[in-house]
Amino acid sequence: MTDTTSLWTPAALEAATGGSLHGDARAVTGASIDTRTLQPGDLFFAIRGEARDGHDFVQSALEKGAGAAVVSQDRAGEFEGPVLAVPGGGGDPVLDAMRALGIASRARSTAGIVAVTGSVGKTGTKEALRHVLSAQGETHASVASYNNHWGVPLTLTRMPETARYGVFEIGMNHAAEIVPLTAQVRPQVALVVTVEPVHIEHFRSLSAIADAKGEIFSGIAPGGVAILNRDNPNYERLLAHARASRAGRVVTFGEHAEADVRANRIVTRPDLSVVDATVMGVPVTYQLGTAGRHTAMNSLGVLAVVHSLGADLARAAISLAGLKPPVGRGERTALAIADGEAFLVDESYNANPASIRAALATLAGIETGGRGRRIAVLGDMLELGPSSELRHRELADAVRANGIDLVFTAGSMMRHLFEALPVANRGVAAATSGELMDAVLDSLRPGDAVMVKGSNSIRMGRIVEAVKARYAVGTDPREAPRKVAP
């Protein structure tokens, strides 16, 4: 962080963590667990990871200008520079100290705090909330997908005392993971975007996933607001969790006739959407600066949060027109190919059955020119358990329904989709994204619209980078020439 305002005083650091400062601490203006991205003034936490011990990087952090380093008490004497030595028994005392500091940050904050979870769309929804709330006051939000056992306390620790709003993403892979995280965040408003068969290998059923997502309400502040997707098949199950919590009321969103925030009409275009909605009885029509019906539906949840916080609903609706999709989550790039133009849709940040279906539907709405085709480049979806082969093969229905002309696949599971497609729709199937790269690059022609998506570890982002490197001319097709060569 580059803000020069002190985030934590030495006294506050010691009081929150039970540690003791050694050396002259510099002004602490941020927090970090990674020396590669550390900024001068950051408080560096020497957390023990699965592969590396953060203590191995403490001296480097101090040399880069860290305000201080949080280290285990028994290691404090090893370093030259300001360190906060924290006591601890089992586990990781530094991670425990970061949790304690995050809890202290939440305790001192007067911000309106929001927690977001869901199987699909939680990061995009969090970013949309950051976008609209930042126009109304100082807003602090999770970076990227910092939503796990270290990401949540780190985000809390970074929250300025002056923030007016705080938006926290909370994720999980297993049951009971959300409970301790939402207890730290203590949101006044908690939103479950949707429940889908994601991480299904760790759960016995979709209902069990809904129960895990419903844990977010366990930490809600007394009298808070629980926000639910009224259209989701697991609505009643989530409603039971909300009613069992300390929430004062439940607000719903969707197309359902009984939804409190209801979409009356959604018009999707290649690069934006227009939504005609009713928000708690108030008619609101707004433009959304991102494409896709799923994004439009999630924007209803965003407005439900805004209303629940008492923020300005009209300003938020206007702000949504300026929302742009982040890298890896729908970012669009204009491509110059031969004497014409094509478009790349980067959906490479992770994948599951629901998100791939949504991405295919969005691709279907993009106009192609001349001999252009709609091309999907898909990598394996992970953590689907015994149903993985079936879940991949079933995507063939979505490919056909959305008029996708050509499909390239990377990974052993996506090969099942490839083989389920008619020969005319098959591009190339490869074992890895690296092996697929040249085939995708060589296949593109003017008028094409190509979408890339897959689970993170399949590294589909490498294909996106290669396409951009060879063909990119811009990152916003609305600012690019519309003419496509025949």
Cα Rg of the chain (Å, integer): 24
Which CATH number is 109-322 given?
3.40.1190.10
Q: What pLDDT, on the 0 to 100 scale, is given for residue 200? A: 62
Nearest 5°: the CA angle 48, 49, 50 is 130
Residue type, 218: S
Q: What is the pLDDT of residues 2-48, one digit of tens each?
A: 344 789 999 999 999 999 999 988 889 999 999 999 999 999 999 99
Per-residue pLDDT of the chain (486 residues; tens, 9 = 90+): 334 478 999 999 999 999 999 998 888 999 999 999 999 999 999 999 888 999 999 999 999 999 999 999 999 999 999 999 999 877 899 999 999 999 999 999 999 999 999 988 898 999 999 999 999 999 999 987 789 999 999 999 999 999 999 999 999 888 899 999 999 999 999 999 998 876 666 777 889 899 999 999 999 999 999 999 999 999 999 999 999 999 999 999 999 999 999 999 999 887 789 999 999 999 999 999 888 888 999 999 999 999 999 999 999 999 999 998 877 888 889 999 988 999 999 999 888 898 899 899 989 988 888 889 999 999 999 988 888 999 999 999 999 999 999 999 999 999 999 999 999 999 999 999 999 999 999 999 999 999 999 988 899 999 999 999 999 875 444 333 332 222
- What CATH class does 331-479 carry? alpha beta
Beta-strand pair 225-229/30-32: unpaired
Q: What is the pLDDT of residues 116-139, one digit of tens each?
A: 999 888 989 999 999 999 999 999
Q: Where are the beta strands (DSSP E) in 100-199?
A: 112-117, 139-141, 165-169, 189-192
Sign of CA dihedral 15, 4, 136, 168: negative
Calculate the CA 423 to chain-centre distance.
35
pTM (global) more than 0.95: no
Nearest 10 degrees: Cα torsion 278, 279, 284, 286: -110
Residue type, 449: A
CATH architecture of the domain covering 10-94: 3-Layer(aba) Sandwich (3.40)
Calculate the CA 340 to chain-centre distance.
34
* Residue boundaries of the structural domains of the chain: 10-94, 109-322, 331-479
Residue type, 90: G
